[in-house]
Amino acid sequence: MKPRVLVAMSGGVDSSVAAALLREDGYDVVGVAMRLAPEPSAPASTAPVARRRGTCCSHDDFEDARRVAERMDFPFYVIDLRADFAARVVDNFVAEYLGGRTPNPCVMCNREIKFDRLWSRARALNADYVATGHYARIEQGADARFHLLRAADDSKDQSYFLFTLGQDELSRTIFPLGAMTKTEVRARARALGLATADKPESQEICFVPDGDYASFVERRSDPSQLRPGSIIDSEGKRLADHAGVHRFTVGQRRGMGIASGERLYVREIRAKSGEIVAGPREELDSSGLIANRVSLVDDSIASGGELSVEVKIRYRHRALPATMRVDSARRAEIHFAALGPAVTPGQACVFYRGEEVLGGGFIERAITAQLAT
């Protein structure tokens, strides 16, 4: 028997195929579905209504994962990591929004839950590896160092969300789908007779299924933590009032509540004063950024001073050519080769060199935007 691998299964097609492929390869697969999201509490006065499926606890998705495990004949368990997820992902998500930043909880979930918390569970269960259905590749070089690479399917590449993985994490992680396209994954699922073969993609953040982040933050905060204030222009002129800085994201246009001749965008969020600075699109352009909590896939690359890289400042953005320098406090200063788009504090910025992920960090602020002429 090959080594034991703990496969994180969401009930979607990707992790289903990941688990099935490992099982076909002869690994000792143990499937787990993680309960992560805090559950909305039903009011006690509601009459119980029989519901066969679809409640939080009897999640359809878990049942789909269970069916895959039965079909492929490996053990499967639902594990409860809600407390860890709340403490390590959800609280951070709320605090970031309250602080005027726009968090990326998927990055935090990977760092804190899938490749840290789940790894301790894997060792408890005598597993040697953790596997997920992420689209990214791990390769070991001739020097035995591990490299994190973009997925073969560029349209599905998820390496952006995985930049926090270092050598330790990569050495014990398997991404079975890294070399496959989504079409191939679905075809494989069908060939294996997996119930999840034609499930639609999940899009929203898993713990905010309705996509209403502002209401979620409000439900999970004390009213005194919310920062209402004014929307102002770059000269400081008050344009409107707003209900809280957590409702804004740098670069957003909608929801400003301003009837103005020109299109206004959120340029800056000042969480302390509650001010939202709005401006026309050209005021958003940036020439670089400062990132903090920088981690590198291989720390040895940081010794060389200035690096030429390509930087992705949002998942769906193209990587921008840039130079970067990391200091000893794990902060990075990044200068784009050409003027860049709006930089959103809180989002992840990920450093690439060609196919390879070198590392990344969390955006602290933009470097002074050069005003377009």
Partner 1 sequence: MPIYLDHNAGAPLRAEAAAAISQLLTKARGNPSSVHRSGQRSRRMLEAARAQVAAAVGAEARQMVFTSGGTESNNLAIFGAITATSRRRKIISSEIEHSSILAPLAELERRGFEVVRVAPDSDGRIDPTRVLAALDSDTALITLGLANSEVGTIQDLAPLASVCGATGVLFHIDAVQAVGRIPVDVAALVCDLMTLSGHKLGAPAGVGALYVRDAARIAPIAFGGPHEGGMRAGTPNLLGAVAFGAATEAAMNSMRDESDRIGSLARSLLRRLRESIPGLRLNGPLSGRLPNTLNLTFPGVLGESMLIALDLEGVEVSMGSACAAGAVEPSHVLRAMGRSIADARSSLRISLGWNNTADEIDAVAETIPAVWRRVADAEPLSEVSVR
Contact between 234 and partner 1 (CB under 8 A)?
no
Region of 73-81, 157-165, 239-247, 261-269 interacting with partner 1 (CB under 8 A): 73-81
Between the alpha carbon of residue 333 and those of residues 267, 325, 370, the distances in Å are: 20, 5, 16
What is residue 154's DSSP assignment?
T
Task: Please tell me whether residue 256 adopts helix, strand or coil conformation.
Answer: coil
Question: What single-letter amino acid sits at 278?
Answer: A
**Phi, then psi, of 28 in degrees rounded to 5:** -85, 85
- Residue from 7, 13, 19, 30 in contact with partner 1 (CB under 8 A): 30
Contact between 299 and partner 1 (CB under 8 A)?
no
The Cα–Cα gap between 304 and 46 comes to 63
Contact between 329 and partner 1 (CB under 8 A)?
no
Contact between 209 and partner 1 (CB under 8 A)?
no
Q: Which long-range contacts (CB under 8 A, 24 or more apart) does 243-248 make?
A: 244/214, 244/217, 244/218, 244/274, 245/97, 245/98, 245/100, 245/269, 245/270, 245/271, 245/274, 245/276, 246/97, 246/98, 246/100, 246/213, 246/214, 246/217, 246/218, 246/221, 247/214, 248/100, 248/276
The Cα–Cα gap between 316 and 219 comes to 29
The Cα–Cα gap between 198 and 189 comes to 8
Region of 19-27, 70-78, 256-264, 305-313 interacting with partner 1 (CB under 8 A): 70-78
For residue 6, the minimal CB distance to partner 1 (Å) is: 10
Residue 120 or 202: the one with the smaller Cβ distance to partner 1 is: 120
**Phi, then psi, of 177 in degrees rounded to 5:** -95, 0
Q: Where on the phi/psi map is residue 222: left (φ > 0), alpha (ψ -120 to 50), or beta?
A: beta
Interacting positions 111-150 with partner 1 (CB under 8 A):
117, 120-121, 123-126
Q: Which of 56, 57, 206, 349 is catalytic?
A: 206
Residue 87 or 243: the one with the smaller Cβ distance to partner 1 is: 87
**Integer Rg of the chain from CA:** 22
Contact between 239 and partner 1 (CB under 8 A)?
no
What is residue 161's DSSP assignment?
G
Contact between 193 and partner 1 (CB under 8 A)?
no
Residue 125 or 319: the one with the smaller Cβ distance to partner 1 is: 125
- Residue from 2, 24, 25, 58 in contact with partner 1 (CB under 8 A): 58
User: For this structure, is 57 an active site residue?
Assistant: no
Residue 59 or 101: the one with the smaller Cβ distance to partner 1 is: 59
For residue 360, the minimal CB distance to partner 1 (Å) is: 25
For residue 53, the minimal CB distance to partner 1 (Å) is: 9
Of 273, 268, 258, 266, whose CA–CA distance to 227 is shortest?
Answer: 273
Question: What single-letter amino acid sits at 161?
Answer: F
For residue 87, the minimal CB distance to partner 1 (Å) is: 4
- Residue from 23, 59, 150, 172 in contact with partner 1 (CB under 8 A): 59
- Residue from 75, 211, 255, 257 in contact with partner 1 (CB under 8 A): 75
Region of 51-59, 102-110, 154-162, 364-372 interacting with partner 1 (CB under 8 A): 51-59
- Residue from 1, 40, 43, 48 in contact with partner 1 (CB under 8 A): 48
User: For this structure, is 349 an active site residue?
Assistant: no
What is residue 304's DSSP assignment?
G
The DSSP H or E segment spanning 96 is helix 91-98
Binding site for partner 1 (CB under 8 A): 30, 33, 35, 44-45, 47-48, 55, 57-59, 62-63, 66, 75, 77-80, 82-84, 86-88, 117, 120-121, 123-126
Would you name the residues annotated as active-site residues?
A: 109, 206
